[in-house]
Amino acid sequence: MEQASARSNRASWPVVVVALLFAISALAMVLKDGGDDAPTRPSAAPVQQAKLKTLPLSSTMTTIKAAPKDPRPTKTPKGTVVHPQRMTALYDEPDGKPFAKVGPKQFGDAWFPVVTRNRDWVQVLLPSRPNGSTGWIRSADLIEAHSPYVVRVHLGARSLELIEDGELVGTWTVAVGASGTPTPVGRTFVLGQIVDDKQPFSPVILPLGSHSDTLDSYGGGPGTVALHGWTDPSVFGQAVSHGCVRVPDDALALLRTVPIGTPVIVDEA
């Protein structure tokens, strides 16, 4: 995905199968993205390999309490996504303290949405708990690309919107989390794509970079929230899931074409 268009690379993205939270169990370069630029300071020395090995890995399976919180959880990112070329340190601020690391793989190639940047650093959303976790990465350690899409989920309306280049592609009535297991609000992103034709309720599952706020685990997995289909259309328009968003087949067919790293914004509206 070396700075190629999102459309031409979708078919090459790998998929794997893991246990997640389900209801039953690249691209074009940009120069600036999201929020105000952070002040530019002299670049600190990279973390040495010995130190890097001691840092916890940010993934859907882990909790990184030291991660900075998303500073603008309702703001729409501008579409920049980044891919670590190797295991890379995460910092609490530009030239700050390393607190964790990310690698080039999560569900296949890992791409993370940029929410803030300066000349030498980008702040990205992370896939680890707690929800809304972020980290700063040196731009030199990353491949950068662009997704033209944004997915919006409105919990009150129980609807999902797919937006491309600022234009509405479609709106669908969906099922969201029940009152005891709500779908978490805020900014997250498409973390990967799972294709499993033997799955009884959805052959395609899109895990997100967020987790249930009420379930520490589910179905053997870490409580990861996902977008996926459902066999019974009567659930659409209801709050009945364990936190995942159940979508109609035609919505799922389009959602599976969006690039990994595409922002997903969940609100109460």
Query: CATH number for the domain including 246?
Result: 2.40.440.10
Asked which of 121, 146, 171 is the last residue of a domain, the reply is: 146
- Asked if residue 18 belongs to a domain, the reply is no
Predicted local confidence at residue 48, as pLDDT: 78
**Tokens representing residue 189 in the block:** 């992103």
Mean pLDDT of the region 136-145: 97
| Mean pLDDT, all residues of the chain | 86
* Position 139 pLDDT exceeds 50: yes
123 and 87 share one domain: yes
Asked which of 127, 146, 165 is the last residue of a domain, the reply is: 146
Q: Residue 244 catalytic? A: yes
208 and 254 share one domain: yes
Predicted local confidence at residue 266, as pLDDT: 98
139 and 31 share one domain: yes
- Asked if residue 16 belongs to a domain, the reply is no
Asked which of 84, 111, 146 is the last residue of a domain, the reply is: 146
* Position 7 pLDDT exceeds 50: no
Predicted local confidence at residue 50, as pLDDT: 78
Q: Residue 211 catalytic? A: no
132 and 32 share one domain: yes
Predicted local confidence at residue 198, as pLDDT: 86
- Asked if residue 262 belongs to a domain, the reply is yes
Confidence of residue 11 (pLDDT cuts 50, 70, 90): very low
105 and 205 share one domain: no
For 121, the domain range is: 6-10+26-36+45-146
8 Å CB contact between 54 and 175: no
Query: Any idea what the CATH number is for the domain that residue 96 is in?
Result: 2.30.30.40
Mean pLDDT of the region 140-151: 97
User: Residues 179-190: pLDDT tens digits?
Assistant: 999 999 999 999
* Position 36 pLDDT exceeds 80: no
Which candidate in 83, 146, 211, 228 is catalytic? 228
78 and 130 share one domain: yes
30 and 142 share one domain: yes
263 and 158 share one domain: yes
**Tokens representing residue 33 in the block:** 């993205």
8 Å CB contact between 26 and 4: yes
User: Residues 66-123: pLDDT tens digits?
Assistant: 999 999 999 999 999 999 999 999 999 999 999 999 999 999 999 999 999 988 999 9
User: Residues 72-83: pLDDT tens digits?
Assistant: 999 999 999 999
**Burial class for 140, CB neighbours closer than 10 Å (0-12, 13-18, 19+):** exposed
Predicted local confidence at residue 41, as pLDDT: 47
142 and 153 share one domain: no
- Asked if residue 198 belongs to a domain, the reply is yes
Confidence of residue 17 (pLDDT cuts 50, 70, 90): very low
* Concatenated DSSP letters of the chain: -TT--HHHHGGG----------S-------S--SSPPPPP-PPPPPPPHHHHHHSPBPSTT-B-TTSPBPS-TTSPP-SEEEEESS-EEEESSTT--EEEEE-SEESEE--EEEEEE-SSEEEEE-SSBSTTBEEEEEGGGEEEEE--EEEEEETTTTEEEEEETTEEEEEEE-BEE-TTSPPPPEEEEB---EE-TT-SS-SEEEEEEEE-SS-S-BTTB--EEEEE--S-GGGTTSEEESS-EE--HHHHHHHTTSPTT-EEEEE--
**Tokens representing residue 141 in the block:** 């350690």
Structural domains counted in the chain: 2
* pLDDT, greater one: 27 or 166: 166
154 and 260 share one domain: yes
Above pLDDT 90, what percent of the chain?
76
- Asked if residue 103 belongs to a domain, the reply is yes
252 and 161 share one domain: yes
8 Å CB contact between 85 and 142: yes
8 Å CB contact between 243 and 21: yes
- Asked if residue 19 belongs to a domain, the reply is no
235 and 141 share one domain: no
* Position 146 pLDDT exceeds 80: yes
- Asked if residue 21 belongs to a domain, the reply is no
Predicted local confidence at residue 45, as pLDDT: 64
- Asked if residue 15 belongs to a domain, the reply is no
Give the least confident one: 26-35, 175-184, 241-250, 252-261.
26-35
Confidence of residue 248 (pLDDT cuts 50, 70, 90): very high
* Concatenated DSSP letters of 103-150: -SEESEE--EEEEEE-SSEEEEE-SSBSTTBEEEEEGGGEEEEE--EE
